[in-house]
Structure 1
Amino acid sequence: MAAAVELYDVTRNYRMGDEVIHALDRVSVTIGSGEFVAITGPSGSGKSTLANIIGGLDVPDSGTVAVGGMQLSQARDRELSAYRNQTIGFVFQSFNLQPTATALENVMMPLTLARVPARRRRARATECLAQVGLGDRMRHKPTQLSGGQRQRVAIARALATEPNIIIADEPTGNLDSERGREIIELLKRLNAGGITLIIITHEAEIADIAGRVLHIKDGRLTIVSGSGGPAAGGFAAGPAAGGSAGFAGGGSAGFAGGRPDDAGGRAAGGSAGFAGGPAAGGRPSEWSN
């Protein structure tokens, strides 16, 4: 399995007043192309910081991050903006759809940022909505859709630029059990089609079907379950791993957006964020670690 994501000795600290928060402490991990990875851990453990760094929304204080051979820590703002738009797709717990726009218009937003011609934008957005089972809801606005349908629109938007990697933050967190299972099945199908999935979750059902589970606590990657690969029926418990040992495996995602400028992060350049993310420079409030 080819490596899609490689982190080596990554450290990320935030300063809050006089206190230093150690979000990531010398984390090393390799995620393979086409892998389904679940990232678990308590609130504030560093799991969202890890996802933000992989997605190009944040930068480490030290260590290296390579995605598809691209060294993110050495990339310019324009290159990172293109990376977020073309390589990564983000799905948020709270959907983050534009309330006054239709489902079709929401899905076209990343394509507009990518300067795709209007006719191609519409055709691609229509294709993505059909792929997630919403071909008959293209003209509906978010208030006219159920929670599960809104999350499907968000997933369609993440797919619009044909990313290699999708990063999803608690994608079933705001859904009831039935709608949550539908989203899980959709994500499994996308993974079976070759997309790398990195999912932040507290849901045991998602962890059970992931090819690998990474557990983070106090900024350290402490447990790895499973041997890597696409979605499975379950996972075998792996040995505990202390510190920042490297692990084989895989994953991928895409998004055009800004990097955080809070808590000591750098403001982003390039295009404004889409997929419900902030304009360049802002950090999604729900990605708080």
Structure 2
Amino acid sequence: MRRDTLADLAVFLSVAEERSFTRAAAALGTSQSAISQIVRRLEAAMGVKLLTRTTRAVALTVAGEQLASTLRPAFDDIDARLSALTALAEKPSGELRITTHKHAAQTVLWPVLKRMMQDYPDISVELSLDGRLIDIVAERFDAGVRLGEQVAKDMIAVRIGPDLRMAVVAAPAYLERFGSPATPHELTRHRCINLRLPTAGGLYAWEFEKNGRAVNVRVDGPLIVNDVEMMLQAAQDGLALAYVLEDQAMPHLVSGRLVRVLEDWCPYFPGYHLYYPDRRQLPAAFTLLVNALRYKP
């Protein structure tokens, strides 16, 4: 069936229910002559007369009555299904797929997701804990969470967490044995724990800044890992210096198991952002997530 035929049938049904070309035209927001033309076109296409006009009213022929009785339940069903789709769009439901890494998931995402899934049981979430920078469109993720400086420029980015800061830490026993570095350059003479990057596979260069001066240091040492918890454990055991996020080291700093050095070389930097492609109509569940995660200093 052609789309214009379906539209003509809807016009005919309006005339049949109103029993008036004038009232049907008013209900549909068009002219009486346009209604008459549509009905004549429909009658010509079907080869039967559907309506009989008198001076006072419009009457259905037998063929018109049969057509109207067929169309009423069909259009009612269409209306019901469209209303259900609208309700689905307005009600937060469905699955959200998010790529992130472990620290962001634990510190920023999970506190919000936990409440949201309790309040909206029709929402389900898939979290992919992966440190790689991936193409979220190609891998069919709804969104990703990364540090602000890692978000691609063609993505919409929403800040969801406070600024972060790095920390160089070591066990007291290590510092007693090897001393404390006074500047980042002195790290080349120290034992350091290297972090293997998940995306390119290279080793992370320790980044520092002071008074607008940026310094990157390629460190060396007895251990390379791809897990921060393992790095912290090795540092606590006195093996070497470690470079981690401040909040990851904080419990160990408070307990005295680790000591911080080079603090004045570790400025704050943009924290976690939720990013996603530009979409004009976002599902209700995703809009709810964005609003719940949006950082409010």
Q: Which has the higher contact order (CA 8 A, sep 6+)?
A: 1
- Note whether the superposition's TM-score is higher than 0.5: no
Could you say which TM-score interval applies, normalised by the shorter chain? under 0.3
Question: Structure 2 length normalisation: TM-score?
Answer: 0.22
TM-score norm. by structure 1 comes to 0.23
Q: Which of 1 and 2 has greater Rg?
A: 2
Judging by fraction of residues, say which structure has more helix. 2
